[in-house]
Structure 1
Amino acid sequence: MNIFYNINGVGDVLLVQLALTRPESIVTKSQGDVTLIHDEVTGELTAFNLFNASSYVKNEAVGEVELTEEVAGQLQDALLKNGVEIKLDIDFTPKFVVGHILTKEKHPNADKLSVCTVDVGSETVQIVCGAPNVDAGQKVVVAKVGAVMPSGMVIRDAELRGVPSAGMICSAKELGLPDAPEEKGILVLDNNAVTGEIFTK
């Protein structure tokens, strides 16, 4: 879930994005201060707008709003107050974590890509990586599926040249770190970094 708020640009409206992809065609339904946005083809609820947002949610951010348990509770209450009986299913697990690359294999369909299995603490995932310096045994920063990069890009389950990839092994530049090198390559952490721990800048 991604939440955006810009009172000067849009007004007192919270834009709440539930789906990772935007549908080609939508249908909307308004109920009180809530406008629900469904995918016209699948019927899936993909987003909703909350009008008069400041009367429901405490927020001082402009742009992306941090999704905390408090904000999620206020959103859920706002839906109920407007007669919208939808249960928000929110994943609060950290999205940027220390990963340990267990294996690295050559991609079968692309010379410059590698297929890595990466332990991220709670699970082991397969990630396709194009960095020239990636190798088995490294401790790295993994952006898990659902992570929002500093550029605004959302990490999704993907398939790269026919191989599934669940997450991204990050470079310092992609993480928006100061003094990030210009040359291509992932950020390799100290071997003492603990697998699965939250990565903080």
Structure 2
Amino acid sequence: MLISSLNSAAFADTLILITAADTANNQATKQQGDVVRIYDETTDQTLGYNIFHISQYLPGLTGNGQVFLSGAQVSQLNQLLTTNGFAADLAADLSPKFVIGYVKTLTPHPDSDHLSVTEVDVDHGQTLQIVCGAPNVAQGQKVVVAKVGAMMPNGQIIWPGALRGVTSDGMISAARELALPNAPKKHGILVMPADIPAGTPFDFDQAAKVVAAQNAAE
């Protein structure tokens, strides 16, 4: 897994790379040149890297929040790691992290009166089990799925997890969670038009228009 982000306000000209979820053990760091490795002190597992002065190594890389690196850019970063004495252990992840999903099944959670367990078809023929607490989720909907490896606009990262003992691999998202303009304040997921194929990469501009249309219809 490779999650990349830029935050120019907090960390100027620094690329933050996350390769694994935080562990319960103490974290340690090692800096060589412009590279800082963050790792689990007990297991020596790499958790991520901070790359300082990233504009020198990947000129033209811009963004705020999650950014998606090409295979060539990851290769350049691996070369930088090797030059500074670290293992070239970054692997490019080119799959979209926000996609349109189709809610194929929906059943009550066995240990909750407000959670539902869904099976959601996404891209590449994959079906994800996602626990959802939204009151308006229903079978047959087209929804926005934040897959494992997605970084939400508020900085939250979607990891594999479980809710009350039931596996949940992703999140069915609300307009507010996607930071869409004029998102409704009421609790509920964003339901997308039925004619959008499951697996389509999520388009934030298109979704903003959907929100505007839904607001106008209410």
Contact 1:5 1:61 (C-alpha < 8 Å) held by counterparts: no
**Contact 2:17/2:48 (CA < 8 Å) preserved in 1?**
yes
Task: Indicate if the aligned counterparts of 2:37 and 2:48 stay in contact, CA closer than 8 A.
Answer: yes
Mean Cα deviation higher: 11-20 or 129-138: 11-20
Q: CA RMSD in A?
A: 2.2
**Aligned equivalent of 1:88:** 90
Instruction: State the alpha-carbon separation in 1 of the partners of residues 200 and 152 from structure 2.
Output: 18
Report the equivalent of 1:43. 44
Which stretch of structure 1 is more off in the superposition, 67-76 or 190-199?
A: 67-76
Give the paired residue count.
Answer: 200
Alignment of 1:107-146 (within 5 A): 107-122=109-124, 123-146=126-149
Shift in Å at residue 60 of structure 1? 5.7
The residue number in structure 2 matching 1:197 is: 200
Correspondence for 1:4: 6
Residue in 1 aligned with 2:210? Answer: none
Pick aligned residue for 1:153 from 156, 161, 179:
156
Output one character per residue of 1:42-85: Cα deviation in whole Å (capped at 9) or x when no partner: 21011223344332221464753623214323312212332333
In structure 2, what residue type is equivalent to 1:108?
Answer: P
Q: 1:23 to 1:49 in 2, by over 3 A?
A: farther
Q: Distance in 1 between matches of 2:102 and 2:137?
A: 11
Shift of 1:89: 1.5
Task: Pick the aligned partner of 1:101 from 93, 99, 103.
Answer: 103
Matched-pair contact (CA < 8 Å) for 1:146–1:154: yes
CA contact (8 A) 2:65 2:155 kept: no
Larger helix percent: 2
Are residues 60 and 137 of structure 1, via their aligned partners in 2, closer, same or farther at CA, if it must alter by over 3 Å? closer
CA distance in 1, matches of 2:62, 2:165: 40
Shift of 1:173: 1.2
Equivalent AA in structure 2 for residue 47 of structure 1: G
Look up the match of 1:20.
21
Alpha-carbon distance, 1:12 to partner: 5.0
Unaligned residue ranges in structure 1 (runs of 5+): none
TM-score normalised to structure 1 length: 0.88
Percent identity at matched positions? 43
TM-score by length of 2: 0.82
